[in-house]
């Protein structure tokens, strides 16, 4: 691990010894912490009134996972989550393209309203949008979740695509127009594909965010994974709350890490094909702040930040590219 | 509109609660994020690995599930039960911390290596290199992404409304339940309160970003 960083030189023998010592101490400390947590969970609880509840690790809390119907419920929750996410992802990409069109329109008549609308959609919580659609359009929970996710993430995808198009080499559009393509076809055939590849890491990160945001369906009573888990805990008893929660977390982690990994592969594949899929670090998007690239001139910031040591590819790749 | 005016104090109380969640969650996220970022840029490989694992794990758990843990699971394990507002703030802080850490790290790593090499070559010590050369540049690069993180946090506070914390979203829900005829004005009014926080922050971030770009 001798990669150059801004902060320190390549470590010499003494620094290496010191870092080894710190490493050992750190590992022991983390192991102790984890051990304490497990031990704490394994203690039976004695409430103030003398009621003893069994420990979190006792068999009585886990036997429920042997029931076939429990897994059927969990399966239906996962299916609902994935279904909503899949529909919303496709929709968000399409709506994003439309938004990007509107933002880049030649007439101010289209451009300005689109910009205002985008700001509005990006500035309010998805949850509020879900409630709005649920109450105003009375679509039912599934479509409320999906449409809100489409509008919100579409706005962010649109911003990312716009930033990608703006950062394209000058002359791409002119070249398209000069060989006789109409403006719309130039956008669709020349500019969008390039912007898409360039912004792929950010788009993938946004898709993971969308996946996580489907869990907001819990609050508007859409029976996705989190809601299913809560309902099951109510049905089988609160004693199983921890068990079900853990199962849900493991499932979510598996899905999201798989999507992130797949996204990294895609970005690398696209980069190998000649695209510049180097989004650099900083495209962090905690549950939807528009990625940095969505801010005005974000592409420039991304370009400036890219290529640094250990630049993580967008928000999707945490440390995957540290040692590549 | 008159529904909003009639219930102005409720809406205002909700807005205050949203601001409190933003403040406490943000402060907590800054503290945890700073620690994680320091670990991630340290020369010690194992600390880097821990920080990376933490970042990847927390980042891939939905906020809903984190708050679910804080509100439903934790009280079953712990002996005492703090108020929901505190639990939600802690959940928001934990959820936001990896994003803060990433923003900080990308800022530090965004400073060209040549800058530090130049500083060392003219004989500056590690502390001087850090405080005079690296950090001043890194801080400028860090502010816009950090602001974006806080914008996201502002919107994420609404999730706490689904977990017994009466903030803006929960207030909106109550009001729409009570006044079915005025759903649209209520929700648009509440959305404006969110925009009141997010849009100025976004504008500030954009401005700073423009300034930083002139620098380099």
Go through chain A and tell me how many residues it has: 324
Q: How far is A161 from A101, CA to CA, in rounded Å?
A: 9
Which pLDDT belongs to residue B150? 95
A42–chain B Cβ distance below 8 A for any pair: no
pLDDT at A128: 94
pLDDT value for A277: 43
CATH of B1-212, one of 3.40.50.970, 3.30.2310.20, 1.10.3720.10, 1.25.40.10: 1.10.3720.10
Reported as a pLDDT band with limits 50, 70 and 90, residue B214 is low
Residue B215's pLDDT is 61
CA distance B67 to chain A (A): 11
CB contact under 8 A, A305 and B172: no
The CATH code of domain A68-308 reads: 1.10.3720.10
Residue identified by tokens 């051990």 is: A35
User: What pLDDT is attached to residue B16?
Assistant: 95
pLDDT of residue A294: 38
pLDDT at B216: 58
When pLDDT is cut at 50, 70 and 90, the band that residue B190 belongs to is: very high
Look over chain B and give the mean of its residue pLDDT values, rounded to a whole number: 90
Domain ranges of chain B: 1-212
- Predicted confidence at residue A321, as pLDDT, reads 34
- Top residue of A123, A227, A294 to mutate, by most chain B CBs within 10 Å, is A123
Cross-chain CB nearest to A124 (options B148, B157, B195): B195
Verdict on whether the full-model pTM lies above 0.85:
no
Q: Which residue of B has its CA nearest to A125?
A: B155
**A48-62, B56-70, B112-126, B189-203: the lowest-pLDDT one:** A48-62
Tell me the average confidence (pLDDT) per consecutive run of 10 residues in chain A, 324 residues long: 64 86 90 90 72 75 84 94 96 95 89 91 92 89 95 93 89 91 90 88 89 94 93 88 92 93 85 57 42 38 36 35 33
Highest mean pLDDT of the ranges A58-67, A259-268, B53-62, B127-136: B53-62
Taking the C-alpha atoms of residue B28 and residue A133, their distance in angstroms, rounded to an integer, is 33
Question: Do A277 and A270 form a contact (C-beta atoms < 8 A)?
Answer: yes
Question: Of A6, A242, A282, which has the smallest distance from its Cβ to B116's Cβ?
Answer: A6
């Amino acid at each position: 691990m001798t990669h150059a960083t801004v902060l320190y030189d390549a470590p010499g023998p003494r620094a290496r010894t010191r870092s080894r010592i710190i490493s050992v101490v750190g590992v022991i400390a983390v192991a102790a912490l984890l051990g304490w947590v497990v031990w704490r969970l394994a203690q039976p609880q004695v409430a103030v009134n003398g009621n003893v509840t069994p420990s979190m690790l006792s068999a009585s809390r886990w036997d429920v996972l042997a029931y076939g119907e429990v897994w059927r419920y969990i399966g239906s929750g996962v299916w609902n989550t994935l279904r909503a996410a899949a529909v919303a992802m496709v929709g968000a990409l399409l709506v994003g393209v439309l938004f990007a069109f509107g933002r880049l329109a030649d007439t101010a008549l289209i451009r300005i309203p689109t910009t205002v609308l985008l700001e509005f959609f990006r500035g309010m919580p998805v949850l509020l949008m879900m409630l709005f659609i649920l109450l105003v359009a009375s679509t039912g929970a599934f479509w409320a979740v999906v449409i809100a996710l489409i509008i919100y993430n579409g706005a962010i995808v649109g911003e990312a695509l716009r930033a990608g198009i703006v950062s394209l080499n000058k002359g791409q559009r002119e070249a398209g127009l000069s060989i006789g393509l109409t403006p719309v076809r130039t956008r669709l055939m020349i500019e969008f594909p390039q912007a898409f590849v360039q912004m792929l890491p950010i788009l993938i990160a946004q898709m993971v965010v969308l996946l996580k945001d489907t869990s907001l369906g819990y609050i508007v009573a859409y029976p996705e994974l989190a809601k299913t888990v809560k309902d099951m805990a109510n049905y089988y008893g609160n004693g199983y709350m921890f068990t079900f929660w853990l199962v849900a977390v493991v499932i979510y982690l598996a899905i999201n890490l798989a999507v992130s990994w797949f996204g990294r592969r895609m970005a690398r594949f696209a980069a190998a094909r000649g695209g510049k899929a180097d989004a650099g670090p900083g495209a962090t998007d905690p549950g939807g702040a528009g990625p940095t690239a969505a801010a005005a001139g974000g592409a420039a910031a991304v370009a400036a930040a890219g290529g640094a040591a250990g630049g993580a590819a967008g928000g999707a790749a945490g440390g995957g590219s540290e040692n590549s | 509109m008159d529904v909003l005016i009639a219930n102005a104090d409720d809406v205002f109380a909700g807005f205050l609660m949203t601001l409190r969640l933003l403040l406490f969650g943000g402060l907590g996220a800054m503290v945890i994020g700073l620690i994680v970022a320091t670990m991630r840029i340290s020369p010690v490989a194992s600390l880097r690995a821990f920080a990376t694992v933490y970042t990847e794990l927390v980042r891939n758990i939905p906020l809903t599930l984190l708050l679910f843990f804080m509100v439903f699971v934790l009280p079953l394990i712990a002996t005492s039960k703090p108020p929901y507002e505190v639990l939600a703030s802690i959940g928001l802080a934990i959820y936001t911390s990896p994003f803060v850490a990433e923003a900080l790290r990308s800022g530090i790593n965004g400073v060209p290596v040549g800058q530090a090499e130049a500083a060392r070559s003219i004989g500056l010590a590690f502390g001087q290199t850090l405080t005079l050369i690296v950090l001043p540049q890194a801080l400028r690069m860090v502010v816009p992404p950090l602001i974006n993180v806080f914008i996201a946090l502002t919107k994420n506070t609404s999730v706490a409304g689904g977990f017994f914390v009466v903030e803006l979203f929960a207030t909106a829900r109550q009001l729409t339940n009570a006044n079915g005829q005025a759903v649209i004005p209520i929700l648009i009014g509440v959305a404006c309160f969110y925009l009141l926080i997010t849009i100025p922050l976004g504008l500030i971030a954009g401005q700073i970003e423009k300034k930083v770009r002139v620098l380099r």
